Copies of this chain bind each other. A is one copy, B any other.
Amino acid sequence: MSKPTPLSGFPEWLPAGQIVERQVVETLRRTFELYGFAPLTTRAVEPMDQLLRKGETSKEVYVLRRLQADADDPSDSGLGLHFDLTVPFARYVLENAGKLQFPFRRYQIQPCWRGERPQEGRYREFLQADIDIVDRDTLPAHYEVELPLVIADALRALPLPAVTMHVNNRKLCQGFYTGLGLSDPMEAIRIVDKIDKIGPAAVAEQLTAVLGASDAQAKACLALAEISTPDASFADRVAALGVTDPLLDTGVEELVAVVEAAAEHAPGLLVADLKIARGLDYYTGTVYETFLAGSESLGSICSGGRYDNLASSGDESYPGVGLSIGVSRILGRLLGREELTATRTVPTCVLVALPNDESRADCDRLAMALRRRGIATEVAPAAQKYGKQIRFAQRRGIPFVAFPGEDGVQIRDIRSGEQVPVDPATWQPPAEDLHPRIVAG
């Protein structure tokens, strides 16, 4: 076989990056579970009609075909790979509603696939980490307050650059545009959402051209979009615009609650940013977008919001709120720039040196004694000179080498060179050396 080459858009990490990803995922899982989110894994495929429900993503979907499909067995025709974790989650909830307890809070960490043209931060296969809470019929707004706190804990547990979550509320915007007298508030949201791409002047033009907005109305829309405060003071600035509407009041109140809770729990994390809208139509309350300091050009690394109508079947509806972390997007940037790495490329904490081939069984027993106490241990592959065995450990970043001898076992910290006799039944490495750790590069 000739040497294979990487596939564009399908990132794979080298061993240190693999360790970083494993620890990032484990940290996310642990945080999500502390908040009672239950693990969920769904199949990678969905029927095409589920995937195409919203139309706009159709060209990104990977369709599956069996290489030698039987014409008489259509059971797996019409399947595609999921492009996010929301569609499969909504389908799982509907399919199993009778067997689930609501409110149902789950996390889901799986790859997704989109046939997009690859570029930095956009992959064809990428790992997402989602949390959602759905309920039957109604969902209290306090979950919109809770979700960003979970994400704050998850991201703060990792050595990432600072993150800022920009938050808005669809009710606030929709109510404002209604109170302003615009004919189609949802269309106004879609137009104002383009402000970062096309600029305020073009937004004003479109508001006039598409919605027949007056100059004063367009100006008010832009004034709302300009409001961005790190605390609840946005409410005063909205009030100062002089628009009144009951839905606007609800939206302001809900956003104040989100911002105030976050200010207590994770000072500096949240910004109320009234131009954030999220493209997708299904959001109905709080919306979230998150940016990594120094990597704003990547786009949002954690987005989501409140939805009321994503999953519904017959008379039943399942409103929810969810946030999705772009794990591959974050790691692609930070591993690519060597801003993150691992303290070693293997889980191994101790290498047992092999004095000679005859002592392999004894060395295996020593390794087992350490493993039984949770210390990851390998035995050297061959009875080479000790210098070579130590280099085996060095090349992998293994911090300790154990030397079995007739007088007992000695363990050397190969970073400092310090070597001491130990009792393998009680010796413990420093806590920070027990497992590989993620460190800023």
Which residues of chain A have a CB within 8 Å of any CB of chain B?
1-15, 18-19, 21-22, 33-45, 47-48, 50, 53, 58-69, 73, 75-76, 79-81, 91-92, 94-97, 99-101, 103, 105, 111, 113, 115, 117-118, 124-125, 135, 140, 142, 146, 153, 261, 265, 311-314, 345-348, 360-361, 364, 368, 371, 374-378, 381-382, 395-396
What is the bound-complex CA distance between A360 and B124, given in angstroms?
Answer: 42
What is the bound-complex CA distance between A159 and B70, given in angstroms?
Answer: 40
CB neighbours of A94 from chain B (8 A) = 1, 3-4
Are A64 and B45 touching (Cβ within 8 A)? no
CB neighbours of A9 from chain B (8 A) = 75-76
Are B115 and A76 touching (Cβ within 8 A)? yes
- Contacts A9-B76, A22-B39 aside, 13 further interface pairs with beta carbons under 8 A come to A1-B53, A1-B94, A3-B313, A7-B43, A11-B43, A14-B96, A36-B377, A38-B346, A59-B68, A66-B115, A67-B115, A69-B115, A142-B360
**What is the distance, in angstroms, from A70's C-beta to the closest C-beta of chain B?**
9
**What is the distance, in angstroms, from A260's C-beta to the closest C-beta of chain B?**
9
Copies in the complex: 2
CB neighbours of A36 from chain B (8 A) = 346-348, 376-378
**What is the distance, in angstroms, from A149's C-beta to the closest C-beta of chain B?**
8
Contact of A18 among B4, B39, B62 (CB under 8 A): B39
A sample of 23 inter-chain contacts (CB < 8 A) reads A1-B53, A1-B311, A1-B313, A3-B313, A5-B95, A12-B41, A14-B99, A21-B39, A34-B374, A34-B377, A36-B376, A38-B345, A43-B125, A59-B66, A61-B66, A62-B67, A63-B64, A64-B64, A67-B80, A76-B124, A101-B396, A140-B381, A142-B360
> Nearest residue in B to A42 (C-beta to C-beta)?
B12
Are B50 and A4 touching (Cβ within 8 A)? yes
CB neighbours of A47 from chain B (8 A) = 4, 7
Contact of A39 among B12, B19, B364 (CB under 8 A): B19
Q: Which of A1, A14, A368: most chain B Cβ within 10 A?
A: A1
What is the bound-complex CA distance between A348 and B146, given in angstroms?
Answer: 16
What is the bound-complex CA distance between A21 and B109, given in angstroms?
Answer: 14
CB neighbours of A376 from chain B (8 A) = 33-36
Contact of A19 among B38, B61, B91 (CB under 8 A): B38
CB neighbours of A346 from chain B (8 A) = 36, 38, 105
Contact of A33 among B21, B35, B347 (CB under 8 A): B347
**What is the distance, in angstroms, from A343's C-beta to the closest C-beta of chain B?**
13
